[in-house]
Amino acid sequence: MSCSHAHTSTRAAVHSATVVSNERIAEGVGVLTMDAGNLATQIAPGQFVHLRVAEGIDPLLRRPFSVHRVSGSRIEVLYQVLGRGTRLMSEWEGGHATDLIGPLGCGWRIPNRVEHALLVAGGLGAAPLGMLAEELAAEGTAITVALGAPSADRLVARDLFEANARRVEVATDDGSDGHRGFVTAVTEALLASGDFDVAYVCGPEVMARIVAAQCASAGVSCQVSLERLMACGIGACLSCVVSTTSGRKRACYDGPVFDAEEVLWDASEIPPRH
Amino acid sequence: MTHAVDMRVSIGALQLRNPVMTASGTFASGREYADFVDLARLGAVVTKGVSLTPWEGNASPRIAETPAGILNSIGLQNPGVEAFIERDLAWLSTIDVPVIVNVSGHSVAEYAAVVRRLEEDGRAHAYEINISCPNVDEGGMTFGTACAPAAEVVAACRAETDRTLIAKLSPNVTDVTEIARAVVDAGADAVSLINTLLGMSVDIDSFRPRLARVVGGLSGPAIKPVALRMVWQTAGAVDVPVIGMGGIMDASDAVEFMLAGASAVALGTANFVDPDATVRVVDGLGEFCRLRGIGRVASLTGALVAGDNASEVDA
């Protein structure tokens, strides 16, 4: 199971975390590696952690981050410097102590028999797909990745995907690497080849919506990881709702991964900022 | 030998094992917090607002972070009283903790109908009447910002129950003590305050408001001084217990509210940052009293030592 609350063996808890490294990996993007003790072994692909970014009362709220990779007791999260919280994070050095809540949310669902999976990442949407790529590859599943970014210097996690995927197709808006244009042109061509069992999608909501529609046309089951502003992160405050065919659901608790079919895209919000 | 501090407090007929509650809307019905908190250690769980029928709540974005605070415009999204009883109250009533159900409505009749239905069920220990939500167009704050409608809602609910009735007051008024007197005259056994302060935030990159509904309720440490002032004014104006809230993050904040006149306190936004904030405050309040040789936490209530000019500031 990929939900922390769907079984009783792994309950969400507050865990101490110590920064191991904090590196800039692309324009405005950092990868933060933390030692989080036994939390690292409890995270399933697509789940997230709710990270304390300030010691005092300002900025007040934790910040949610999908776990990009785990290794031993370490977890990696990707972040883009967008606001006060992520700016503070970008200044952290090795040894910095903080805490995080996890594991949280429902991650990617992996059907019983997947022979070929399509992973679609737009920009920082690569974050929740890293662990998934590693886990699928370890199970012997063939992976194709469509990776998009505005420009070559903002491509994220290309090495990880190339190490685990049969094929990685890159698209940049300005053509500085791979196909010129949006990644949705790449996915359209890939889906036309027709041998995918499932698509896993994360990125700007407009991209996710288009890929979801392409998958629906191609008859490929599609899951999307959605981002919302969150307060509690544990399902209580109803800040992060997503409009679905069965009412408003919580991105933090019922998601962040949703079946694309159930998402009502028209009700989507303007992009969140940290 | 050190004697244990007596942490018990009373709110009307309701006996609480300690003065620390949850603030409505920040704790759902407790279930999501059970991984982090032994709910039986709390003074009471105050549930999210419950209405007669399901409410969808407002469009997203519903929150915006502001300096030392949060603006929210959730809009009382809830599944309605029947689903609440079936899913939430049924679970919560298995826990050894007093349950205070927060009641919302679009009309006086709806408030009363929710209390009536909960009385039929019989598992709620008390009711908090929400006449102060700033995020709905009908009901909520529209009832709580004038004396007559505030009193009318409380009187209608009073007619449905003998259990402890708490009126939750809005800070978005000129004189909170007038509203407090009106709801007490209408039969409220206690008042709780403050609900959120109406506020707004703008994104200068997009030229858009940061909340879909444009305005929302401000909570968190940013509002604590305002909350404290209103609790102090209200405690001096009515003879019923006051439940104080607004930006309480730790035990010292809670002590401030009790000294200003609160008989109990509630934590709201703090739960979002530290899901176990409530039990930390329970422990911290006990420790505060123990270190000072205070035998009963209830003796903190209204123990503020104010100077001779204090009454001039009032009103």
Cβ proximity of B219 and B269 under 8 Å: yes
Q: Over range A87-91, report the average pLDDT.
A: 95
Question: What is the distance between the alpha carbons of residues A7 and A39, in angstroms, rounded to a whole number?
Answer: 16
For chain B, the residues whose C-beta falls within 8 A of a C-beta of chain A are: 25-28, 32-33, 35-36, 56-57, 59-65, 67-70, 72, 74, 77, 203, 206, 208, 212, 220-221, 249, 269, 271-276
Query: Cβ atoms within 10 A of the Cβ of A125, count?
Result: 28
Cβ proximity of B112 and B92 under 8 Å: no
Backbone angles phi, psi at B296, to 5 degrees: -130, 125
Percentages (nearest 5) of helix, strand, coil residues in chain A = 25, 35, 40
Q: In 3-state terms, what secondary structure has residue B71? A: strand
Distance of residue A251 Cα from the nearest chain B Cα, in angstroms: 12
Q: For A63, name the nearest residue in chain B, comparing CA atoms only.
A: B273
CA triplet B140, B162, B102: central angle to 5 degrees? 30
Q: For A10, name the nearest residue in chain B, comparing CA atoms only.
A: B35
The one catalytic residue among B133, B147, B157, B289: B133
Angle between helices B147-158 and B176-185 (to 10 degrees): 30
Catalytic-residue membership of B133: yes
Query: Cβ atoms within 10 A of the Cβ of A273, count?
Result: 17
- Residue in B243, B280, B191, B266 with CA at minimum distance from that of residue B25: B266
Chain A residues inside the 8 Å CB shell of B63: 229-231, 237, 239
| Exposure on the CB side of residue B17, measured as CA atoms within 13 A | 14
Tens digit of pLDDT for each residue in A193-224?
879 999 999 999 999 999 999 999 999 999 99
Of B63, B67, B275, the CB nearest to A229: B63
**pLDDT at residue A172 tops 80:** yes
Chain A residues inside the 8 Å CB shell of B275: 14, 101, 232, 234
DSSP letters for B283-311? HHHHHHHHHTT-SBGGGGTT-----TTHH
Of A52, A58, A228, the CB nearest to B68: A58
Question: What is the distance between the alpha carbons of residues A207 and A121, in angstroms, rounded to a whole number?
Answer: 9
| Exposure on the CB side of residue B241, measured as CA atoms within 13 A | 22
Tens digit of pLDDT for each residue in B85-123?
999 999 999 999 999 999 999 999 999 999 999 999 999
Chain A residues inside the 8 Å CB shell of B72: 231, 237, 239
The pLDDT value recorded for residue A10 is 74
Backbone angles phi, psi at A85, to 5 degrees: -65, -50
Tens digit of pLDDT for each residue in A117-171?
999 999 999 999 999 999 999 999 999 999 999 999 999 999 999 999 999 999 9
Which residue in A237, A242, A248, A269 has the most chain B C-beta atoms within 10 A of its own C-beta, making it the best mutation to test that interface?
A: A237
Instruction: Please state the pTM of the whole predicted model.
Output: 0.94
Chain B residues inside the 8 Å CB shell of A235: 28, 32
Distance of residue A60 Cα from the nearest chain B Cα, in angstroms: 5
